A and B are shown apart, each in its own frame.
Chain A
Amino acid sequence: MNKLKFYLPVLGFVVVAIALWRGLYLDPKTLPSMLIDKPMPSFELISVDGKQVSNADLPPQIFLLNVWGSYCLPCLIEHPTLMRLTEAGDIPVVGVNYRDQQDLAIDWLEANGNPFSFSILDESGRFGIDLGVYGAPETYLVDENGVIRFRHVSVLDEAVWQEQFLPAIAELRAEGS
């Protein structure tokens, strides 16, 4: 028995190796969120500008849910695209201010412009966990019934918008009509 304890490290290693081997076949970028085709998790939180917001405040049509933070440099890169989309009235964008501080978020929006109908303030990251957020930036496409239909991890630039989101939206519209 005493000798068996020396086999514990190798047993532990086997477990880890199997986990790693399984992990190879998961790709966190393309693996769809569990929430695809499920309704958006319910929330009752305050927004960055201090108002009470809940699922009832979400836009009634197809919209984007964009996870951002004032600490997030890639968010600055995608920011012009989001601004253009909302200014042109293409699609409303709701923000999730993820693991940030309210005053920093307000400063950031003032400095860079605010493309969001409103931004859910998620200082603790609880809502992000419900949503399965991997990190900012991340963008979800939500349909008119509040069901999540598509998810994109990392920067949403013009190319991603043209190549991934527009087709996905066209498909949704085709289904709806």
Chain B
Amino acid sequence: MIPEIGQFSLILALCLSVILASLPIIGAYQNNFLWMSMARPLSAGVFVFLAVSIAILAYAFVTDDFSVKFVAEHSNSLLPDRYKLTAVWGGHEGSFLLWTFMLSGWMLSVAIFTKSMPLEFVARVLGVLGVLITGYILFMLATSNPFARIVPLPPIDGADLNSALQDFGFIIHPPTLYMGYVGFSVVFAFAMAALLSGKMDAAWARWCRPWANVSWAILTLGIALGSWWAYYELGWGGWWAWDPVENPPLITWLFGTALIHSLAATEKRGVFKSWTVLLAILAFAGSLLGTFITRSGLLTSVHAFASDPTRGFFILAILGITVGGALLLFAFRAPLMKSEFGFDLVSREILLLANNIILVVSAASVFLGTMFPMVYQGLTDDLISIGPPYFNAIFIPLMALLTVILAIGPYCRWKRTSVAFLVEQMGKVALASLALGVVVPLIVTLEFSLAATIAVALASWIVLAMLQDIRNKTANKASRLKGLRSLPFSYYGMQTAHLGMAVMLIGVALTSAFSTERSVLLAPGQDVGLGNYVFRFEGAAPINGPNYVGEEASFTVLKGGEEITTLHPERRVYLATGTPSTEMAIDAGLFRDLFITLGEQKEGESWSMTIYVKPFVRWIWLGAIFMTLGGILAAADKRYRRLRRRHTEPSREQSKSKPLGGELQASS
């Protein structure tokens, strides 16, 4: 009975979202105040019913209701409670419910935190989100109902959650990634509302910026969590594999990064307006593409859910209606958008444009590389493999170029910057970075690597330029501290995120250049050396987990004859499915990770195993954490809150006279 309530609740959410998708948008055209003002309560209603729905699904998991097909396929009575609860997103149906629920959460926050914006605009934003949610719920009810029952004979016990997913990473990675992904739907809705209204001034860019920054920050974190999880759980020691399912979040991220930079130019200078709208659509398209790829069985990979062309067809239809429709609307309206200002050849605008071009080209190359094997197969029935070499060959030089201009950007002024000033400022920084790039890797590792030299030089370039810029900006204040305090949050946000890029760069380059690994066969008491470390195998003993059995090995790690840590990798066999799984043991450190994966027991007491030493690998995720912090700091800037307050006072008519765009026009 209770799962039926969940399904009923889903249907109610559908009914409300159908109204939300139509009345407020029509109301905005006809200036019908009543219809427009229905948008906020309707959004709250959709959120509540989706919340009830997902809570009931979670309840079915916790109470082991194996008559629900989705529960029977993804849980087991022996599964620990935290995984029962999170198994809600352990398969296609439930994870799509989570996705839709999160979108409704974003929608609710839009309804709450937009009091300062004109009602007409908010009605359109919420209406567009209503269209998306209507599509998603229809998709669930038609092709992937999480509440479907197994009648008349439900299984006694469930098939268990995929053993690779029974891990802490699974609890946090999918929700964070989805949260970031669907955040771009909000940005998309803002862009659509601007297109629908026909008033493409800079106002929408300002309203939308904090939302874009937060979505981008969460998406960054979500991708980093995925990378970190793959690194320690999948046991390959890799942190990025250019897997066809890793790529769409990256594509979305690249478009999103371009978008948050382009939004800055649109907001501050009223330039690149149509381009910014296009980027908002593309970032959203990237997020839907990710859904499409994982859920249609288009590509096989570790992430792929069950393959089913009907589902793929449905998502493609959603993709066609939303993205196709948006691009068509864009084609009609974009010619009306005019940039308000010109700018010189050397200016911040030009650098932001260069940033955008590099990011969009990167995104397009990743997209082509992901899709090409499929297109090729479709045309010729032949299979080809596109591997990391293609992606690395294109992506690495583009990112290096991006890093070069990234450091110059903050120096440049809007509209015009003198070349002499740039040369004077950046000359010393460039020389110092080159020197550091050559010297630092040599001192630290005693071997020369071109990749490491370039990476350290580029990272120093970012960091030194940043310090210099902060010094310039605080030079005229009474004291440095006062100067530092007077800089806005958004400035610190930008610099923190840029610092994150430098940190990540170091991590990627040094891990790739200096990682070592060795596969060996060891008997208890034997040891093996790798780099400066000696790994001694102490022996293996059986262990019993809640829903698995296995063996745990013990290692002592020595450096210079001193014991520094012990490591305990495991091999498990999950009882419900009989799947074997490897739990690697990691000793994590800021400057290096040591880790061991256990292979199989061989003749006697010998075990096969692979041992890795990975310098600086943590910096990759540390960089992503800096970027996330930066995005959140930027969104927390006082400016947005001040505006909100100023905006609550004027009456509704004034909202039509675009007070924000007005500032810009007044000065032209």
Contact = CB atoms under 8 A, between A and B. Distances in A.
Interface of A: 2-3, 6-7, 9-10, 13-14, 16-17, 19-29, 31, 33-34, 70-71, 73, 76-77, 79-80, 99, 104, 107-108, 110-113, 125, 128-129, 132-135, 153
Contact of B519 (A16, A28, A108, A153): A108
B300 A24 contact: no
A20 B300 contact: no
A38 to B, nearest CB: 11
Contacts of B328: 10
Contacts of A111: 519-521, 599, 602, 608-609
Nearest to B301: A135
Contacts of A3: 335
A99 B377 contact: no
User: A-B pairs with the 10 shortest C-beta distances?
Assistant: A111-B608, A10-B327, A107-B519, A132-B383, A6-B334, A24-B312, A111-B521, A6-B331, A7-B331, A34-B382
Contacts of B378: 19, 22-23, 26
Contacts, number: 119
A133 to B, nearest CB: 6
Chief secondary structure at chain A's binding surface: helix
B377 A26 contact: yes
A76 B600 contact: yes
B374 A23 contact: yes
Contact of A6 (B319, B330, B518): B330
A13 B323 contact: yes
Nearest to A3: B335
A27 B234 contact: no
B547 interface: no
B375 interface: yes
Nearest to A79: B600
Contacts of B281: 9
Interface of B: 234-236, 274, 278, 281, 285, 292, 296-300, 307, 309, 312-313, 316, 319-320, 323-324, 327-328, 330-331, 334-335, 371, 374-375, 377-378, 380-385, 387, 517-521, 580, 582, 599-600, 602, 608-610
A108 B609 CA distance: 9
A12 to B, nearest CB: 8
Contacts of B582: 73
Contacts of B296: 24
A99 B307 contact: no
Counting chain B CB atoms within 10 Å of each CB, the highest count among A73, A77, A128 belongs to A73
Contacts of A9: 278, 281, 327, 330-331
B393 to A, nearest CB: 14
B330 A153 contact: no
Counting chain B CB atoms within 10 Å of each CB, the highest count among A107, A110, A111, A135 belongs to A111
A128 B312 CA distance: 29
B302 to A, nearest CB: 10
B295 to A, nearest CB: 11
A153 B300 contact: yes
Nearest to B325: A10
Contacts of B292: 20
Given A6-B330, A73-B234, 4 more contacts: A6-B274, A24-B313, A26-B377, A125-B385
Given A13-B285, A19-B371, A104 B331 contact: no
A83 B228 CA distance: 34
B371 A10 contact: no
A31 B377 contact: yes
A76 to B, nearest CB: 6
Contact of A132 (B235, B335, B384): B384
5 contacts: A14-B324, A29-B300, A31-B383, A76-B600, A111-B608
A80 B601 CA distance: 12
B300 A132 contact: no
B124 to A, nearest CB: 21
Given A9-B331, A70-B519, A111-B519, A21 B274 contact: no
Contact of B297 (A27, A79, A110, A153): A27
B383 A33 contact: yes
Nearest to B320: A17
